[in-house]
Amino acid sequence: MPTYIVMSKWTSQGLQNVKQSPSRLDAARKAYESAGIKMPHFWMVTGQYDMIAVLEAPDDVAVAKAILVSRSQGNFITETCRAFTEDEYKGIIDNLA
C-alpha cells in the first residue's frame, strides 16, 4: 500500500479548540480506517508544522478524499507527499534511462 506523509498546521479555529484535538485525531483515525487507510504514526512536532502523520492508503484518490473530509472541518491545513520505501526508491533509480 502506498505511504503518504501528511504535514499539518492548526488553523486559528483549531488552536481555539486545541483541547479537543486528541478526540478529533481519534475520530479521523476511525474515519480513515473505514476508508481503508491506516495511520501507523502520528506526532505533534515543533518547527514549521504542528503535526505529522504517516498514512498507508490504497491509492492517491483514497488519501485525497480522506484529507479533504478532514480538512473541511476547518481545524488544520495540510501538505501531503507520497513517500517511497527504500526498495521502491532503488527500483525507480534502477529503471532510469
CATH top class, domain 3-94: alpha beta
User: pLDDT tens digits, residue range 85-95?
Assistant: 999 999 999 99
Encode pLDDT of 22-55 as tens digits: 999 999 999 999 999 999 999 999 999 999 999 9
Which contacts (CB < 8 Å, 24+ apart) does range 61-68 have?
Answer: 62/35, 62/36, 62/37, 63/2, 63/4, 63/37, 65/35, 66/31, 66/32, 66/35, 66/37, 67/6
pLDDT tens, residue by residue, 56-70: 999 999 999 999 999
Q: Can you give the pTM of this predicted structure? A: 0.91
